[in-house]
Structures are given as structure tokens and as C-alpha cells.
Amino acid sequence: GQNIDQPTEMTATEGAIVQINCTYQTSGFNGLFWYQQHAGEAPTFLSYNVLDGLEEKGRFSSFLSRSKGYSYLLLKELQMKDSASYLCAVWSGGYQKVTFGTGTKLQVIP
Amino acid sequence: DVKVTQSSRYLVKRTGEKVFLECVQDMDHENMFWYRQDPGLGLRLIYFSYDVKMKEKGDIPEGYSVSREKKERFSLILESASTNQTSMYLCASSFTNLEGTGYEQYFGPGTRLTVT
């Protein structure tokens, strides 16, 4: 089966750095996605990792360790608009079927 | 600009009714997906389609069926709606390149379905 774990909630201060972890146990692995979802809105794509290491995209970075079944999303210089849920999703089969974690709700406080 | 649209933002139906949720994408994507999202359970895949008239069961297909007669349109059907199908339904689409590498999914705005 597929199992993806993320913390349920996190709180961080505006201007700070926060790391959201994701661990997974899946039958097979093709790649890992991170999505952002603001309350009442649809998820939007943030990053995709297929090889080990860090991928940087502006204030957001995503890290992957395939041997450890582990990823994290790093958000720097936090802004109030970063308050959202962050979803980890693993692509581990044929076609484009992915399995989503339950998401981490991040609250950014002044 | 990439666009996935869903037929309704809010829908209220009665138990036992047949319900149709429509999704249209304008990106010529091969893959389309239907999810439901519930608090504490996250996004769960109901069905997906990788080509016209092709469909695959996701993790929770029971009580649902789908139809994909045209590439841009993917319909989710609740054959006989029940109260436990009250949920947020999200449609998504994605592209497949020749190498089969992963591409992000683009989501529609969602349909909040209430079954009473």
C-alpha cells in the first residue's frame, strides 16, 4: 500500500524559515510533488523532485532523499500569504496516478 | 493560461438522486482525474483517465462511475447519491510527455456537493 505522512499543523513567524517534512512508504517511486492549497481554493503546483537533492525556486525549496523515503519543503522569508495547506504527493505507479498526503496546515503569524 | 473548469461550485442533491459532475480542460492534456477532499483524509483519487474512453479506478471508486467521450471533458457520476458522498470534489488534468516523466496536475476550483 501507499503511506504518506506529514505533520497536521505548523505555526511560524513572518520573516522566518519553516521546514515541512514528508515521509513516504510506497510500492515504487517515480517522483514527488509539493502543492500549495489556500483555504477554499484548489491546490496549485509548487515543485517536483525525481532525483536526490535540493531544488530551489525562489523562496521555496524542496529536498528529496529516495533511500530514506523523505522529502521536505523549505519556505524562506515567510509572508502572511504563505498561510495555507501544503500537500506532499508521490507518483509511484503507471500513468500519472499520484497519492496525496493529508497535508500540513501552515499558519504564519506576525 | 491553463484552465480547468467544473460545472458547479456548489450543489445540493437528495439521497438516491443521480448526480453528474462535469470537468473541462483547455490544455489538450491526456490525463484527467477526479478526487474528493475531506477534512483529515486529504485528497483521495476516485477515478482517472489517460485517454479518451479509457478509465482506471483510483483508491475509492465505489459508488462512482466516470465518462470520457472527448479529450477535454471528464464526467463523474454518482449513480445513487448517499449522504457519505457529501464532500468537495476536485477535477485535475495533466500532460504526459514521450518520456513519461511526471508533470504537475492542474486543478479545477472544486464542487462542494451536499447530499441530504
CA A94 – CA A84 distance, rounded (Å): 30
Asked if the C-beta of A29 comes within 8 angstroms of chain B's C-beta atoms, the answer is no
Asked if the C-beta of A93 comes within 8 angstroms of chain B's C-beta atoms, the answer is no
CA B95 – CA B64 distance, rounded (Å): 24
CA B2 – CA A17 distance, rounded (Å): 31
Q: Do B45 and A97 touch (CB under 8 A)?
A: yes
d(CA B31, nearest CA chain A) in Å:
7
Digit-coded pLDDT (tens) for A64-104: 999 999 999 999 999 999 999 999 999 987 777 789 999 99
Q: What is the DSSP letter of B64?
A: E
Q: Report chain B residues touching chain A, CB-CB < 8 A.
A: 31, 33, 35, 40-45, 48, 50, 56, 58-59, 90, 94, 96, 101-110
Chain A interface, best mutation among B4, B35, B43, by max A CB count within 10 A: B43
Measured CA distances, A25 to A54, A82, B2, B38, B44 (Å): 20, 28, 32, 22, 17
Output A13 or B1, whichever has higher pLDDT. A13
Residue B106, pLDDT above cutoff 80:
yes
Using CB atoms, which residue from A41, A45, A103 is nearest to B104? A45
Digit-coded pLDDT (tens) for A50-70: 999 999 989 999 999 999 999
Predicted pLDDT at B97 = 66
% of chain B surpassing 90 pLDDT: 84
d(CA A99, nearest CA chain B) in Å:
7
What are the backbone dihedrals phi and psi of residue B84, each rounded to the nearest 5 degrees, phi first? -80, 5
Q: Counting Cβ atoms within 10 Å, is residue B64 exposed (0-12), middle (13-18) or buried (19+)?
A: buried
Mean pLDDT to the nearest integer, A8-25 = 97
Using CB atoms, which residue from A33, A95, A101 is nearest to B42? A101
Using CB atoms, which residue from B41, B103, B109 is nearest to A42? B109
Predicted pLDDT at A97 = 79
| B54 and B38 Cβ atoms separated by less than 8 Å | no
Digit-coded pLDDT (tens) for B26-81: 999 999 999 999 998 999 999 999 999 999 999 999 999 999 999 999 999 999 99
Which band of pLDDT confidence, cut at 50, 70 and 90, is reported for residue A1? low
